[in-house]
Chain A
Amino acid sequence: MTLSKPGVILFFVVCLVAGCAAAPADAPPAQAPTPTIDDLSPAVTAAEAVQVPTLARDSLAREAKRLTLRVRNIECANIALGSGFGLTPGLLITNRHVVAEALVLEVNTWNGRTLHVTGAAVGALGDLGVVRVQGRLPEVAEFGPAPRRRDPVTAVGYPLGGRLTLSRGVALGTVFDRDLSIDVLRITARIEHGNSGGPLLDSRGRVLGVVYAIERRTGYGLVIPVQAMLQLVEIGGLQDVPPCGSS
C-alpha cells in the first residue's frame, strides 16, 4: 500500500501535464459572419409571378382557321360555295360536289388571299375532290386517329358561304353510306351547306375526315374518315372534273 501513493500522485501529475499539452494554444478564430442576402426573396417572388400567356398562334381555333379554305365554284349559271383544307402546300382536298361542273374555281384563304387554281380532279369513288393551286397554302393537315364514340370534334368551314365557323360536337360512331359503300363518321357538330369539303378536327387540331353531307333523318353531320378517304383515292384513283352542264 505504500507504493500506491506515489503512483497515484504520478498519475495525476501526468494527467495534468497531458491535459495542459492537449489544450489549444490559442482560442479558435471567431466564427465568420453569415452573409446577408437581402435581395434574394424579391427575385424569387418575381420569377414565380411570371406566367406565359396563351398565344392565339398556339390555339386550336387559329390553326383550324389557317387550315380551312373557301372554295368558289363558278358553274355555267350558278355559283357553288364550299370548303376545303390543305393536303400539301400546293394541294387542297374538298368534296366532288363542290368542284363538279366548274367553269372557274377560286380559293380564298382565311386572311383574304385569293389563290389561282391550276388544276382540279375528283375521286372516281366517294365524294372527294382535289384542287391544285398556285402559291402556298397557309397550313397543311396533320391527320389524327379515328375518333372513339363521344370524343369531342370540331367541324370547320364556311357555312352558307359566310364567315369561317368552328362548330363543336362529339363523334357518334360510324354509319354505313350505301352510295359510297363505306362506313362514315356521324357527328353532332352543326353542319350547313358550305361546310362541305371542310375538315373535321380532334381536340389537338388533327384532321379526322372530310365533312360531306347532312343526314336527313337525324340532322347529324356525316364525315368521310381519313383512312377511307385515302383508300377511296388509292382504289378508285382520280378523274377529270365533270364539265359544266353534264348533270
Chain B
Amino acid sequence: MSADENEVSPDQLVFPGDSSSSRSPSGRSRKLLIAAVITLAVLLLVTAAGASYLAFVNRERADRWETRANALEGDIGDLEGQLNQRTSLANDLAGKVQELQRAVTRSEGDVRGLERRQRKLANEKAQVEDQRAGLVLQAATLQTVAQTYSECSGGLSDLLQAVVYEDYGWITANADRIVATCNAAEGQFDDYKSNYAE
C-alpha cells in the first residue's frame, strides 16, 4: 500500500452521524426523475391504449355515418325525382283546371244565353196560350150569341109560318118570347163586339 493509497482526502471522509452524504440533492432528483419517467411512460401507455380504442370506435362511427349519409343522399335523390314528377303532374293538372275553367265560363255564357232564349220563348208561349184562352172565351161567347140568334131565327121562322097559316093564337102566345130572344141575341152580339172588337 502506497502512501498515497493510505492517504485519504478530506473530501472522501464520511463521518458517522453525518446523514447529509446519503440525502444529497442530486440523488433525490434522480430518483424522482426516474419515478416520473416511469409514471409518464405508464400514463403514455395507458393513454395511447385509450386513444387507440377511441380512434377505433370513432372510425367505426364515422363509417356508419358515412354509410347513412350515402343512403340518405340516395333517398334524397329518389325523393327529388318523385317531387319533380309530382310537380310536373301538378302543373299538368293546373293547366287542365285552367282549361276546364275556361270551358265552364264558356258553358256558363252559353247556358245564360240559352236560358234567356228559353225565357223569351216561354213568355211567347204564355202569350200565345193567353190568346188561345181569349179565343176560346171569344168562341164560347160567339157560340152563345149564335145559339141565341139561332133560337131567334127559328122563332121568326115559326112566327112566319104561323102568319102564313093564320095561326094567330100561336102568334099571340109566342111572339113576345121570340122578339125577346132576338133582342137578347142582338144584345149579346153588341156585348161581344164591345168586348172583343179591335
Contacts and interface: CB of A to CB of B under 8 A. Distances in A.
A108 B122 contact: yes
A143 interface: no
B94 A47 contact: yes
Interface in A21-54: 21-26, 28-29, 32-33, 35-40, 42-43, 46-47, 49-53
A32 B69 contact: yes
Given A37-B83, A46-B94, A106-B129, A25 B62 contact: yes
B87 A108 contact: no
B162 interface: no
A39 B125 contact: no
A40 B80 CA distance: 11
Given A70-B126, A164-B119, A28 B43 contact: no
Contacts of B115: 56, 62
B126 A13 contact: no
Contacts of B112: 56
A28 B51 contact: no
Interface string B134-158: 1011000100000000000000000
Nearest to A163: B123
B121 interface: yes
A78 B70 CA distance: 95
Interface in B32-72: 32-33, 36, 39-40, 43-44, 47-48, 50-52, 54-55, 58-59, 62, 65-66, 69-70, 72
A115 to B, nearest CB: 12
B108 A18 contact: no
Interface string B10-43: 0000000000000000000100110010011001
Interface in B84-104: 84, 87-88, 90-91, 94-95, 97-98, 101, 104
Contacts of A2: 29, 32
A43 B98 contact: no
B195 interface: yes
A17 B129 contact: no
Contact of B97 (A17, A18, A50, A109): A50
A20 B44 CA distance: 13
Nearest to B120: A163
B83 A35 contact: yes
- Of all A-B residue pairs in the complex, the 10 with the closest CB atoms, nearest first, are A21-B51, A46-B94, A112-B122, A35-B80, A6-B36, A25-B59, A43-B90, A17-B47, A21-B54, A29-B69
30 contacts: A9-B40, A13-B44, A18-B47, A21-B50, A21-B51, A21-B52, A21-B54, A24-B62, A25-B58, A26-B62, A26-B66, A28-B62, A33-B73, A39-B91, A46-B95, A47-B97, A50-B97, A50-B98, A53-B105, A56-B108, A77-B141, A79-B134, A81-B130, A104-B133, A108-B129, A110-B122, A112-B121, A112-B122, A163-B120, A164-B119
